[in-house]
Homo-oligomer: A and B are copies of this chain.
């Protein structure tokens, strides 16, 4: 084994294959990062202030971490996760950090372990391995780094070699941070930090506060969202504003992939029913389904790439939801059906060269049966990287092994980090590039590709393909 274990992280053991993987990885490693989908708070880059203490930066907001500790009986409040009712939680960063370090073994073989370990080493230059005994040392070293100017967000952005980073905002967002970024030469069309149009909170009648959100949408746009026509007009207006702030894509997080192409009168009836508080779950599902087709139509007009993230059962852990609210680790995946669900949308626009639909999944048991055949047979369809519970080395590998034979490489859309953890972005892309290098190395070793082709392919996967699929680069 080599002494520098970082060099061969995630590479296969067989020496010939390993050295091929190294060479292919080297091609990808020097390319800029394209991050077309994620949840970094734009304020971080707009304000460019120093990050908070290590625990508040790394542990508290990361539900991968807090849910794992919950699964072993450590309540999220003990890790500083805020409560809905304001009842007290742990606020001492060092204590949170120690508690986390005490449970570090839980993360063995998880992507969180990999990301954190590499973030400590590669981003913060901390080489002490985390353990209960070294918790304080690691905390102090990370804290010291965070105080240095080189560890301000914009400096890290440069160091990370990020070419473009897309954040995600709702139509109710005023895009103020993005305006500030544009003013600073960091944002706007073709800029380094752009937004993404994510309208779930005004589209999903089951979203907490939907009706109020529509009122606010009306205010923001000066449109009467009391009518379905006004609602559509408001959405179109916000899409234009998002495009002006650099957005090249929309994103849609739905429980299922269901689509429906209702006639406008029926859609308006559903909308009215919802507005009057009379919609049942079937109405809500139908309206969400219809709106996906409506958004496809808007995409054909305005050019936004359409991302679909279906399959999460939100707030499955009711205890957690009641105490801590949304997005703190209480969601779980469910089986997701694509071919029948997407048929209405694909019947209408599946072969339209103006539409680009990037499909994600939480259900890997659709890779070869549904996703690859759809992406390999419709001009509009691309496959997004394995998402969330699947954003791990083993699944990234299974994704390639399961979809490439039907869909090829060029109907996939490149890696997305999907993270709010800014400091982990380079590490996450690095993991994906390593897994691709290992996969391609195997193909070369088995004489399915030449090394030249593999090198060309990994550059496409790491850089050219996401840039093209998500329409980054000079504004159109």
Contacts and interface: CB of A to CB of B under 8 A. Distances in A.
A403 to B, nearest CB: 10
A369 B409 contact: no
Interface stretch (A29-37, A84-92, A172-180, A338-346): A338-346
Given A108-B409, A109-B405, A405-B110, A332 B71 contact: no
For this complex, into which size category does the number of interface residues on chain A fall? 35 or more
Contact of A333 (B334, B339, B343, B442): B339
Nearest to A445: B13
A351 B389 contact: no
Of the candidates A319, A368, A402, the one having the most CB atoms from chain B within 10 angstroms of its own CB is A368
B404 A110 contact: yes
Q: How often does this chain occur in the complex, in copies?
A: 3
Interface in A372-407: 372-379, 381, 389-390, 392-395, 401-402, 404-407
Interface string A304-343: 0000000001001111100000000110111101011001
A389 B395 CA distance: 20
Interface in A2-19: 5-6, 8-14, 16-17
Contacts of A6: 447
A28 interface: no
A410 interface: yes
A140 B459 CA distance: 33
A364 interface: yes
A368 B377 CA distance: 27
Nearest to A330: B377
A279 interface: no
Given A320-B351, A379-B71, A446-B9, A109 B392 contact: no
Q: Which of A347, A369, A378 is packed against the most chain B CB atoms within 10 Å?
A: A369
Contacts of A241: none
Given A9-B447, A71-B407, A330-B377, A372 B389 contact: yes
A408 interface: yes
Contacts of A337: 335
B333 A379 contact: no
Contacts of A113: 448
A72 B376 CA distance: 8
Nearest to A392: B405
A336 B281 CA distance: 24
Given A332-B373, A442-B13, A339 B351 contact: no
A316 B345 CA distance: 12
B405 A394 contact: yes
A465 to B, nearest CB: 11
A70 interface: yes
A206 interface: no
A444 B129 CA distance: 15
Contacts of A340: 313, 334
A277 interface: no
A1 B445 contact: yes
A274 interface: no
A443 interface: yes
A329 B407 CA distance: 13
A347 B318 contact: yes
A317 B377 contact: yes
Contacts of A317: 346, 350-351, 377-378
A49 interface: no
Interface string A345-375: 0110011010000000011110011101111
A207 interface: no
Contact of A453 (B16, B108, B395, B406): B108
Given A108-B408, A333-B373, A334-B340, 14 more contacts: A1-B16, A10-B448, A12-B446, A71-B375, A105-B410, A109-B448, A316-B343, A317-B377, A317-B378, A319-B347, A334-B370, A364-B368, A365-B365, A369-B389
19 contacts: A1-B445, A9-B446, A10-B446, A13-B16, A13-B17, A13-B442, A13-B446, A70-B351, A71-B375, A313-B340, A317-B377, A317-B378, A329-B377, A332-B339, A334-B370, A365-B365, A368-B395, A372-B389, A394-B405
